[in-house]
Chain A
Amino acid sequence: MKDGTALHLSVNGQSVSVEASPGRRLSDVLRRDLGLTGTKTGCDAGDCGACTVLLDGAPFCACLIPIAQVAGRDIATVEGLASGGAMSRVQAAFLRHGAAQCAICTPGMLMAASALLKQIETPDRRQVERALGGVLCRCTGYAKIVQAVLDATGSHGTAEPAAGLAVGASVPRLDGPPKVDGSEVFGADFSPPDALLVRAVRAPHDAARFTIGDVAGWIARQSAAVQVFTAADIPGENRFGVLPTCSDQPALAECHVRMRGEAVALVAGDPAVIETLDLTEFPVRWTPQPALMEMADARAPDASRVHADRNDNILIAGRVHTGDPEAALSRAAHVAEVSVKTGYVEHAYIEPEAGSAWMDGDMLVIQACTQAPVMDRDDTARVLGLARERVRIIPSAAGGGFGSKLDLSVQPLIGLVALKTGRAARMVYSRRESMASTTKRHPATMTARVGINAQGQVVGMAFDGDFNTGAYASWGPTVAVRVPVHASGPYRVPNYHAQARAVHTNGPVAGAFRGFGVPQAAIVQETLYDDLANSAGIDRLQFRLDNALRDGDRSVCGQQLFGVGIVDCLLALETPWKVALQEAQDINARAGPIRRGVGVAGCWYGCGNTALPNPSTIRLGITADGRLRLHQGATDIGQGANTVIAQICADALGLPLHQFDLIGPDTALTPDCGKTSASRQTVITGKAALLAGAALRARILALSNMGDEARLALDGNRLRVSDGAGQRVIDLSVLPPDSQGYVLATEQSYDPPTQALDENGQGRPYAVYGYGAQMAELEVDMELGTVQVRRMTAAHDLGRAINPRLAEGQIEGGIAQGLGMALMEEFIPGRTENLHDYLIPTVGDMPEIRSILIEKPDPEGPMGAKGLGEHVLIPTAPAILNAIRHGCGARITCLPALPHRVLAAIHATQEARDG
Chain B
Amino acid sequence: MLLTGWDRGRKIHLYTNKIAAPANKGKPNVSAYYRPDSLTDALAVLDRTGAVVAAGCTDLFPATERQELAGPVLDVTAIDGLRGISAMAGGWRIGATTRWSDIVAADLPPAFDMLKQAAREVGAVQVQNAGTVAGNLCNASPAADGVPPLLALDAQVELTGTAGHRVLPLAEFITGARQTGLKPGELMTAVVIPHTSGAGRSRFLKLGARKYLVISVAMVAVRLDHAAGRVTDLALSVGACSAVAMRLPALERQLIGQPVRDLSGRVDQRLVSDALLPISDVRADAAYRLRAAGELLRRALRDLEVAA
Residues of A within 8 A of B (CB): 1, 3-5, 7-8, 21-25, 28, 44-47, 49, 52, 55, 58-61, 63-66, 68-69, 71-73, 112, 115, 130-131, 133-136, 223-224, 272-273, 275-276, 430, 432, 783-786, 823-824, 826, 828, 831-832, 836-837, 839, 841-845, 898-900, 903-904
B33 touches A844 (CB 8 A): no
Q: What 15 new A-B contacts, CB under 8 Å, besides A72-B7, A842-B210, A898-B209?
A: A1-B28, A23-B73, A49-B126, A58-B129, A66-B33, A130-B120, A133-B212, A223-B28, A836-B215, A837-B215, A842-B124, A842-B212, A899-B288, A900-B284, A903-B291
Given contacts A60-B130, A899-B207, A903-B288, contact A7 B14 (CB under 8 A): yes
In the complex, A112→B10 CA distance in Å? 28
- CB of B125 closer than 8 Å to a CB of A: yes
In the complex, A786→B209 CA distance in Å? 8
User: Which residues of the other chain, A, contact B71 by a CB distance below 8 angstroms?
Assistant: 23
User: Which residues of the other chain, A, contact B125 by a CB distance below 8 angstroms?
Assistant: 59, 112, 115, 130-131, 133-134
Across the two chains, which residue of chain B brings its CB closest to A133? Answer: B212
- CB of B185 closer than 8 Å to a CB of A: no
Given contacts A45-B62, A430-B65, contact A784 B211 (CB under 8 A): no
Across the two chains, which residue of chain B brings its CB closest to A51? Answer: B126
A-B contact pairs, 21 of them (CB 8 A): A3-B28, A5-B16, A21-B33, A22-B14, A22-B75, A64-B57, A66-B69, A68-B14, A68-B35, A130-B120, A133-B213, A134-B124, A134-B212, A136-B213, A223-B29, A273-B28, A276-B68, A783-B295, A784-B207, A784-B292, A899-B209
In the assembled complex, the CB of A268 is this many whole angstroms from the nearest CB of chain B, namely 17
Given contacts A23-B73, A134-B213, A845-B211, contact A45 B61 (CB under 8 A): yes
Interface string of B65-94 (1 = CB under 8 A from A): 111111101010100000000000000000
User: Which residues of the other chain, B, contact A22 by a CB distance below 8 angstroms?
Assistant: 14-15, 33, 35, 75
User: Which residues of the other chain, B, contact A134 by a CB distance below 8 angstroms?
Assistant: 123-127, 212-213
Q: Among the listed stretches B19-27, B154-162, B246-254, which one makes contact with chain A, having 4 or more residues with CB under 8 Å of it?
A: B19-27
B213 touches A842 (CB 8 A): yes
A133 touches B209 (CB 8 A): no
In the complex, A71→B77 CA distance in Å? 12
In the complex, A851→B141 CA distance in Å? 42
User: Which residues of the other chain, B, contact A73 by a CB distance below 8 angstroms?
Assistant: 7-8
Given contacts A72-B10, A842-B212, contact A899 B124 (CB under 8 A): no
Total cross-chain contacts (CB, 8 A): 197
Interface string of B251-289 (1 = CB under 8 A from A): 000000000000000000000000000000011110110
The number of chain B residues with a CB under 8 A from chain A is 64
Picked from B13, B65, B126, the residue with its CB within 8 Å of the CB of A60 is B126
User: Which residues of the other chain, B, contact A828 by a CB distance below 8 angstroms?
Assistant: 282
Given contacts A59-B125, A71-B14, A430-B65, contact A66 B288 (CB under 8 A): no
Given contacts A64-B58, A64-B61, A831-B282, contact A785 B66 (CB under 8 A): no
User: Which residues of the other chain, A, contact B123 by a CB distance below 8 angstroms?
Assistant: 46, 134
Given contacts A65-B130, A900-B285, contact A46 B58 (CB under 8 A): yes
B207 touches A223 (CB 8 A): no
In the complex, A899→B218 CA distance in Å? 11
A844 touches B212 (CB 8 A): yes
In the assembled complex, the CB of A508 is this many whole angstroms from the nearest CB of chain B, namely 16
Most chain B CB within 10 A, of A4, A64, A136, A786, is at A64
User: Which residues of the other chain, A, contact B33 by a CB distance below 8 angstroms?
Assistant: 21-23, 66, 68
Residues of B within 8 A of A (CB): 5, 7-8, 10, 12-16, 23-31, 33, 35, 54, 56-58, 61-62, 65-71, 73, 75, 77, 101, 120, 123-127, 129-130, 207, 209-215, 217, 282-285, 287-288, 291-292, 295-296
In the complex, A560→B124 CA distance in Å? 52
User: Which residues of the other chain, A, contact B214 by a CB distance below 8 angstroms?
Assistant: 839, 842
In the complex, A845→B129 CA distance in Å? 22
In the complex, A826→B284 CA distance in Å? 12
B66 touches A276 (CB 8 A): yes
Most chain A CB within 10 A, of B14, B15, B124, B215, is at B124
In the complex, A59→B130 CA distance in Å? 9
Given contacts A5-B15, A59-B125, A133-B124, contact A899 B292 (CB under 8 A): yes
In the complex, A560→B7 CA distance in Å? 74
In the assembled complex, the CB of A331 is this many whole angstroms from the nearest CB of chain B, namely 43
Across the two chains, which residue of chain B brings its CB closest to A130? Answer: B125
User: Which residues of the other chain, A, contact B124 by a CB distance below 8 angstroms?
Assistant: 49, 133-135, 842
Across the two chains, which residue of chain B brings its CB closest to A45? Answer: B62
Across the two chains, which residue of chain B brings its CB closest to A270? Answer: B28
Q: Please name the 4 residue pairs, one residue from A and one from B, whose CB atoms are nearest each other, closest first.
A: A134-B124, A844-B211, A133-B212, A900-B288
In the complex, A73→B24 CA distance in Å? 34
In the assembled complex, the CB of A68 is this many whole angstroms from the nearest CB of chain B, namely 5
